[in-house]
């Protein structure tokens, strides 16, 4: 059963199952913010590169900005792929799900 905010609240009070919903929302927000930051860093790096006018110092600064953005993307995607790889090799698909067991 997929836990939603509506079915984790009992008698008007949130239960521990609501932590799943909160964690999922936080994770989604962090990934979205990381994607937006990546896009902004790439745009800023590109603009710096185009407006450097051949100045080696400005060109290097632009390259560092774009390199940092791409390394951040590789880190985010790589961490997901490592978890996915572990999940596939161990046969535990629940590894990628945050779920609090019910008793």
* Burial annotation 64-84 (CB, 10 A radius, 16+ → b, else e): ebbeebeeebeeeeeeeeeee
pTM beyond 0.75, yes or no? no
Confidence label for 1 from pLDDT (cuts 50, 70 and 90):
low
CA atoms of 28 and 98, how far apart (whole Å): 13
Mean pLDDT of the 43-65 span: 93
pLDDT for 2 equals: 66
Highest mean pLDDT among 23-27, 55-59, 97-101: 55-59
Q: Which residues contact 42 (CB under 8 A, 6 or more apart)?
A: 66, 69, 70
Among 57, 34, 35, 59, CA closest to 46: 59
pLDDT of 12 higher than 70: yes
Mean pLDDT of the 48-77 span: 92
């Amino acid at each position: 059963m997929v836990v939603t905010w509506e079915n984790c609240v009992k008698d008007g009070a949130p239960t521990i199952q609501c932590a799943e919903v909160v964690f999922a929302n936080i994770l989604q927000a962090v990934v979205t913010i990381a994607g937006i930051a990546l896009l902004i860093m790439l745009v800023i790096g590109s603009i710096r590169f185009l407006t450097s006018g051949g100045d080696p110092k400005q060109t290097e600064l632009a390259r560092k900005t774009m390199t940092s953005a791409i390394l951040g993307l590789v880190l985010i995607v790589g961490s997901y792929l490592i978890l996915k790889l572990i999940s596939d090799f161990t046969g535990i698909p629940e590894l990628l799900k945050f779920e609090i067991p019910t008793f």
